[in-house]
Structure 1
Amino acid sequence: MTIKLAIFDFDGTLANTFTVFGESLNTLAVKHRFRQVTPEDEPQMRSMSAAEILRELRLPLWRVPAVLSDYRKMLHRRIGEVQPFAGTVAALEALLEHGVALAVATSNTADNVNAVLGPELVARFAALECGSALFGKSHRLRHILRQTGTDAADAIYIGDELRDAEAAQRIGVAFGAVAWGYTHFDALLLTNPAMAFAVPADLSMLYEPASEARPASRSAAEPVALLRRRDTN
């Protein structure tokens, strides 16, 4: 499998928004009348799908757009506190240097993506799909494929949530799971990702020959091995 285009989720994959999100959640809960969370809730919720989290929070689907809109405003006010995960910028630059095109698909804003990653790096991306999507994340991915003229077989979508895996699978794009994001890595591995990355430096597996690519953990090895076996069949 030759990767020509790597599409990234933003929050929890490239940008470490955990602190701002955690500190904003209960403020949003009070305003929008859903259940507040405690530190004890976190381990269980990090293994849940988006639909399961909404049920756990007793947050009706019709309220979600307003909650997300308010959260994006809160995040924008604190965007100076948000940093890329250590090593992600260097990994993205290395991908570009090795001829892998980059894109971002996120419900966050383009302003926030530029503020965190830097406008110079973002200007080198082949596509940037931001903001609320009426038809969901899979629609964003399709639009990026059309915009860049890339076949689904030549692309990978890299994210940290179960819904990222679902969106990729829905349109036939390979999914790459990251270990440093919101959802527990073990839960992501149950989705049978094509590739798994324990640390940002492992993104080099997208351009290194299979004989040189090295998974950084035992848990990451099996999905990578599966991808290599597909290449040889």
Structure 2
Amino acid sequence: MLAEGKIAAPVTPALRGDVSCQVSFSNRSMAIKLAIFDFDGTLADTFPLFIDSINGLAVRHDFRQVEHHEVDRLRSMGAREILRDLRLPVHRVPRVLLDFRALMQQRSGEIRPFAGIAQALQSLADRQVMLALATSNSLANVEAVLGEALVERFAAVECSSGLFGKAHRLRRILQATRVERTDAIYIGDEIRDAHAARKIGIRFGAVGWGYTDFAALTRMSPDAAFNEPGELTGLADRS
């Protein structure tokens, strides 16, 4: 185990060569009026910071540290599986997330949106697709990474420190925007994002550049799959 509580070489998520490089829609007739986005791993490249800090968080919150060779295996799991593997009780998760959010705020200068994300969001908004955000991160961190001007283009932003409260956040966004479930899609990079979307009956779009292995994510049968950020603009063709 590493003395400093860090993994030796941060692993940046990479696009998977065994997944098509073209955006894929399972329902060709889907109309999209509202695109709801996850933040960490979908809009913001926070995975390197997460890997760099996870073992320090493990020491502070008494869960199992992660060896470098385990990262890819963990990326194929859902959130509850990861918690069991790390021996981290669910009731301790909010404090871990709060500490990670505080660390992000301290090191916000190291975090950037994924290449092409800002342009894709601007394009969708310009083409009358309503934008929203559902995240377990803080509004301060979202604005630090995306910039206040871009965040102002979002019709609704729901933030919380809960790991499994995304379905509730999605419902609040639908209520705030008054968009029908059939006209909305949630774009995310984790298996729990897919579960949250299905729980409230909206479509799910999987991205191939985030925390979860893309092959594992596409096994959730998403309604759309995006291999690179520029492909998100295809949602406007269905608005």
TM (norm. structure 1) is: 0.88
Aligned pairs, how many?
A: 210
Matched residue SS, 2:234 = helix
Fraction of identical pairs, as percent: 58
* Structure 1 CA distance for aligned equivalents of residues 185 and 238 of structure 2: 16
For residues 83-106 of structure 1, give each alpha carbon's deviation from its aligned partner in whole angstroms, at most 9, with x where no partner exists: 000000000000011110000100
Aligned to 1:16: 45
Q: 2:185 aligns with which of 140, 156, 163?
A: 156
Q: Which runs of 5+ in 2 are unaligned?
A: 1-29
Between stretches 19-28 and 156-165, larger displacement belongs to 19-28
Q: Deviations over 1:150-202 (max 9, x none)?
A: 11100000000000000000000100000000101111111110000000011
Q: Normalising to structure 2: TM-score of the pair? A: 0.85
- Partner of 1:126: helix, strand, or coil? strand
Aligned-residue offset at 1:132:
2.2
Which of 110, 116, 140 is residue 81 of structure 1 equivalent to? 110
The equivalent residue for 1:41 is 70
Between the aligned partners of 2:233 and 2:108, the Cα distance in structure 1 is 28
Task: Report SS of the residue matched to 2:237.
Answer: coil
Amino acid in the other structure paired with 2:191: L
8 Å CA contact retained: 2:45, 2:114 = yes
- The correspondence for 1:125, drawn from 135, 154, 165, is 154
Match of 2:81 among 41, 52, 55: 52
Alpha-carbon separation, structure 2, partners of 1:88 and 1:135: 25
Deviating above 3 A after TM superposition, structure 1's stretches of 4 or more consecutive aligned residues are: none
Equivalent pair of 2:42/2:189 in contact (CA under 8 Å): yes
Taking a change above 3 Å as real, the CA distance of residues 165 and 134 of structure 1, as seen in their structure-2 partners, is: closer
Higher relative contact order (CA 8 A, sep 6+): 2
Shift of 1:209: 5.9
Counterparts in 2 of 1:171 and 1:134: CA distance versus 1, 3 Å: same
